[in-house]
């Protein structure tokens, strides 16, 4: 399914975001195991310090899922 929006990622931003989504997809967290894995991913990103734009967007979405 393709959805046309005004919001899109291009170039390196898209690449860094998709790399993270491929490694740990953004989806509802339904178990303690998924929660723990999500926290590990979040902690690794936070430990990096300065993030690329795509990484920041991924981290924002992941933190929303963890909070929910």
How far CA 64 is from CA of 2, 33, 59, in Å, comes to 24, 17, 9
Q: Give the global pTM.
A: 0.83
Query: How far apart, in whole angstroms, are the C-alpha atoms of residue 44 and residue 49?
Result: 9
Q: What do you get for the CA distance between the two ends of the chain, in Å?
A: 26
Q: Is the pLDDT of residue 8 over 80?
A: no
Residue 43 pLDDT > 90: yes
pLDDT at 12: 77
């Amino acid at each position: 399914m393709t959805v046309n929006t005004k919001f899109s990622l291009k170039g390196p931003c898209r690449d860094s975001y998709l790399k993270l989504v491929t490694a740990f997809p953004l989806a509802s967290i339904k178990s303690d195991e998924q929660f723990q894995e999500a926290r590990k991913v979040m902690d690794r990103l936070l430990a990096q310090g300065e993030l690329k734009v795509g990484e920041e967007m991924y981290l924002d979405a992941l933190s929303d899922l963890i909070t929910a």
